[in-house]
Amino acid sequence: MTDTNIDTGTDVETEHGTTETEPADTGVSIADPELGTDALQRVQSVLESGMLADGPEVRAFEKSFAAYCGADRAVATSNGTTALHAALEAVGLEDGDAVITSPFSFVASANAIRLAGGTPVFADIDPETYTLDPADVERVLGERDDIVGLVPVHLYGLAADMNALRSIADDHELFVVEDACQAHGAVVDGDRVGALGDAACFSFYPTKNMTTGEGGMITTDRDDVADRAASFVNHGRDVGDGGSYEHVDLGHNYRLTSLAAAIGRAQLDRLPEFNRTRREHAAYYDDQLDALPLQTPTEPAGYRHVYHQYTVCTAERDALAATLDDHDVDTGIYYETPIHHQPAYETVSTAAATLPNAERAAETVLSLPVHPNLSEHDRRVVVEAVQDHFHS
């Protein structure tokens, strides 16, 4: 007699007719980073080399990540926030400059503008994609003459409307810095995010589509931006100083460690697999939840969503979250408070804007587990919990 149904699970038949071990009842997590043996081996090699800080492993990671994005250059940083800060400094943001960004994002999207001396100005989002609405960007530009740039946020794994936003930027001579911290591998009309503006910024936090623990990356096709960013993240040091301590400007220590870069190289190798699995989970949810009274994620023609989050929208958000919790399913609300309503923005004059789509989304969005380590059993648990809520 075995005890697999107690500790290690029970064998069940999947919807594909194969056998899968149903895990013990430990609940379904909203995120579950997958490292694998390759990452461990790469970290071991770095430890044995003794080059633990900025070194060849970081340069190799930068080169491979730039190539993945279709960009000419990449600069590794300590996290996504420092990537945004450094990129904004590198494109020439000056004190007092105004930059349009999304109010419906993690607060770092706007904080980085303030850290670089600028003023974030918020335009509303599209209610279907949750990304910047180009029409509202045009409205803001019609009301102000001090805007110098755009920071569109690729949210939940879906790219913003970059064709429209780049056209607007060209017409108004604005820089574009993509906030791609949630969109590793997302595609617009055949091009991956990361080379769709003057610079792009990524985060490698553990919940992201690929991770280095903590880490970030700037990608760009502009050598001047890459050189300034590389200097800024290394105390303003001259990038061509050949090892001397020549500092040409103010900067920070925003460097990525070689240990993190080693993990990143292994993760990048697996990113296509991770994204493919996320898309498979999302397709299953789309099919199973289609008849229910909730809005599921959209994927516009020509776009490839990579589902950093699988986010639904319903007026019953809080009740649905409670039902899922009763079924031991973790959920997340990203984001319950729009940036312009955050306490840290009470003194920012541009935060007084009325942005109905962002405010409505903050009251109605709920993210379901979609990470690559979900089993078919986990997916069924999630779907059955959602169905139970709406059918009860």
Instruction: Express each pLDDT in 95-140 by its tens digit.
Output: 999 999 999 999 999 999 999 999 999 999 999 999 999 999 999 9
- Please tell me whether the overall predicted TM-score, pTM, comes out greater than 0.85 for this model: yes
Q: Where are the domains of the chain?
A: 35-266, 272-391
d(CA 145, CA 25): 58
d(CA 220, CA 82): 16
Rg of the chain over Cα atoms, rounded to whole angstroms, equals 22
pLDDT of residue 277: 99
pLDDT of residue 19: 41
Mean pLDDT of the chain: 93
Distance set, CA 91 to CA 60, 132, 150, 173, 203 (Å): 24, 21, 11, 13, 19
User: Residue 241 — pLDDT band, cuts 50, 70, 90?
Assistant: low
Residue 24 has pLDDT above 80, yes or no: no
Assigned CATH class of 35-266: alpha beta
At how many degrees (to 10) do helices 108-115 and 80-90 cross? 40
Question: Using an 8 Å Cβ cutoff, are 158 and 129 in contact?
Answer: yes
Residue 387: other Cβ atoms inside 10 A: 14
The phi, psi pair for 139, rounded to 5°, reads -60, -45
269's enclosing H/E stretch is helix 258-289
pLDDT, average across residues 362-386: 98
Peptide bond into 335 cis (omega under 30): yes
Residue 244 has pLDDT above 80, yes or no: no
pLDDT of residue 350: 78
Question: Using an 8 Å Cβ cutoff, are 176 and 201 in contact?
Answer: no
Residue 20 has pLDDT above 90, yes or no: no
User: Residue 4 — pLDDT band, cuts 50, 70, 90?
Assistant: very low
Tokens in use for 372? 């690559």
Question: Using an 8 Å Cβ cutoff, are 124 and 102 in contact?
Answer: no
Residue 222 has pLDDT above 90, yes or no: yes
d(CA 292, CA 287): 10
| DSSP-based three-state secondary structure for 73 | strand
The label of the residue with tokens 């990537």 reads 83
Tell me the per-residue pLDDT of 263-306, one tens digit each, with 9 for 90 and over.
999 999 999 999 999 999 999 999 999 999 999 999 999 999 99
Say yes or no: domain 272-391 is CATH 3.90.1150.10. Answer: yes
Strands 187-188 and 175-179: unpaired
Give the E-state strand segments of the chain in sequence order. Answer: 10-13, 19-22, 73-77, 98-101, 119-122, 147-151, 175-179, 187-188, 191-192, 199-203, 216-220, 303-304, 310-313, 365-368
User: Residue 382 — pLDDT band, cuts 50, 70, 90?
Assistant: very high
Tell me the per-residue pLDDT of 134-160, one tens digit each, with 9 for 90 and over.
999 999 999 999 999 999 999 999 999
pLDDT of residue 174: 99
pLDDT of residue 366: 99
Question: Using an 8 Å Cβ cutoff, are 205 and 227 in contact?
Answer: no
